[in-house]
Amino acid sequence: MGRLFGTDGVRGVANADLTAELALGLSVAAAHVLAEAGTFEGHRPVAVVGRDPRASGEFLEAAVVAGLASAGVDVLRVGVLPTPAVAYLTGSLGADLGVMLSASHNPMPDNGIKFFARGGHKLADELEDRIERTYRAHSSGEPWERPTGAGVGRVTVYDEGFDNYVAHLVGVLPNRLDGLKIVIDGAHGAAARVSPEAFARAGAEVITLGTEPDGLNINDGCGSTHLALLRAAVVEHGADLGVAHDGDADRCLAVDREGHEVDGDQILAVLALGMREAGTLRKNTVVATVMSNLGFKLAMERAGIGLVQTAVGDRYVLEEMKAHGFALGGEQSGHVIVLDHATTGDGTLTGLMLAARVAATGRPLAELAGVMERLPQILINVPDVDRARVATSPELTAAVTEAERELGATGRVLLRPSGTEPLVRVMVEAADIEQARAVAGRLADAVKSALG
């Protein structure tokens, strides 16, 4: 049986992989594990529970709340809010646990459960493993210890979460957005109300897309995975910029006034320069993953800003930031972490800070993003190969060495085994797109030959 917890909680098709029984059982297990770890010592435990607007979130939320309350945890139901809002409220309200029900950018039939520890930080891998072991032990017949009488948890609707979170977002901005016209695509997701409200309170004129969730339309042809509508709307309305979120709003991509995409690497570059100017870019360093475009690395070198690169995944970016005290990190996908103001990636905060930089400088987004040039990047997935031998194949090592020699300092090669599928990802960057295609094709053939 495979591990339930992936890199971002437990995720699967709702009511098939992710059932009410599983949601309830994991919640009870989480309560017991955290109690045993001393998290609840000396006080009555409290959990914050939120969700995105997916239809399945309604029954899954009910299951999670029931599980926690049955284990003696008081529950604050904050309703439909972004993942970073649940993380923020877990910290600001002094709760012992946060639970978010969302499958982020995945299609509507999927859903997921993500746990936050006290303070709003991602639950440690070791605790996730213990929760899973405890759940499996009890689902196979071992009875739970259950409180009775006054010991059962109480459930309260916490309506103040929306205003508290929006006030926090607007309060941490370095300057207002007055004079900017901004299009927001909420992906019919968790940011549908939050993001337009935050931008409006910060002074922007707001035009909205994807802000009418009905439980079934999340990420459907809109949001950060489908930018065509946002591009068209920004140009049509003569807006200064557009921002797009994913379903749970922990990501943000942008569009400049000409309708061109500004990706996570470019957003990181703009924010890094602004934070250095403000004196808030600790250790003059930004954290990104190995998948960041080489153009980002070259831009940071030209600007004299240090770059630390991690394995792919926002959890690795966050671990590096926390371990070494860095203030800014993120991924090309638009998952940006500003650690002084958030414990996880926050798409609304990212969009606000990007817009604040436009307002403060008086320069258009395209000009600010022009600090880095995105080098052409070719990605080929090679299926049905032995991904475990990527690092040990002499034939493959020789092919990579030859490719790197050909590309020189203005190109890059990355071979990465998939974490979930029997395939290897071949990524090549070069100043010339045709050269990138040719090198990537030869490497893909080498992977098939060496690992097939």
Binding residue numbers: 104, 246, 248, 250
Binding residues for Mg(2+): 104, 246, 248, 250
Structure tokens at 186: 């909420």
Q: Is 418 an active-site residue?
A: no
Structure tokens at 353: 């800070």
Distant-in-sequence, close-in-space partners of 218: CB < 8 Å, separation ≥ 6: 52, 53, 54, 108, 187, 188, 189, 247
Catalytic residue (one of 27, 102, 104, 292)? 104
Distant-in-sequence, close-in-space partners of 370: CB < 8 Å, separation ≥ 6: none
Give, for 306, the enclosing helix (H) or strand (E).
strand 306-310
Helix/strand/coil for 255: strand
Could you list the active site residues?
104
